[in-house]
Amino acid sequence: MKIRSLQGAIVVACGIAFGALVPAAHASPLRWLTLPYHGVLVGSGNLEEDFSGAAHFQIPATWRAVKKGRFYNLTPPVVGRCWIKVQVNNAPTLTKATTAAQVAATFPEGFRIVELARGSRAHGSWGIDETAPHVHPPGRRVYAIGVIHLSGHFYVRLRAVATFVGECSDDVVRNGPTLTALRRIVTGGSFGGASFRGHKLTK
């Protein structure tokens, strides 16, 4: 079963829409990263790794990026005595829930500390919250998710999670350039070449 490729349309649409989302004051050189996925389709009832595709997103050119399995580990510049790490991954999902409902389900009470932003994006929805803190090492955490509709009940959840360790002010955590970069990933990212070769779906 071949799912229509949305890469071209999403990249064009997001390029237009994102100009209005990111303030010009935060403009900086960017570079594209590609994160391939080959694995289980979450929610399909199948445990065979039969879903494939690739996420594409932009990050600041100054960020160090190391791909490890299905994740990208990113390192933004240090801000004073605040050290920041960002991890990006994607999870293709089969569900009947809307994109907005999937975003809401990501941030239940008790996990969400402060709601930072919600919105619509090309083919989906997105949200960013400060969530329960990181335990080891102790630090604050900001979680961003963009849910992209692929076709039918097929979606991909593009996630970017930042951990702030050290002397990190509210301004750095909730308003700084890292938040702008997370927002860019989940609002401007795309997922292309999606295909599923598994057995009959159970949902």
pLDDT of residue 52: 93
**C-beta neighbour count of 18 within 10 angstroms:** 17
112 beta partners = 109, 131
Listed in sequence order, the DSSP H helices in the chain are: 7-21, 99-106, 170-175, 177-188
- Residue 3 buriedness (CB in 10 A; 0-12 / 13-18 / 19+): middle
Record: fold of 7-191? Protein Transport Mog1p; Chain A (3.40.1000)
Q: How does pLDDT run along the chain (203 residues), one tens digit per residue?
A: 545 443 333 333 344 343 334 443 446 799 999 999 999 899 888 777 789 999 999 999 999 999 999 999 999 999 999 999 999 999 999 999 999 999 999 999 999 999 999 999 999 999 999 999 988 888 999 999 999 999 999 999 999 999 999 999 999 999 999 999 999 999 999 999 888 876 544 44
Domain ranges of the chain: 7-191
pLDDT of residue 131: 96
pLDDT of residue 199: 54
Which is nearest to 19 in space by CA: 187, 191, 173?
Answer: 187
| CA–CA distance, 200 with 87 (Å, rounded to integer) | 33
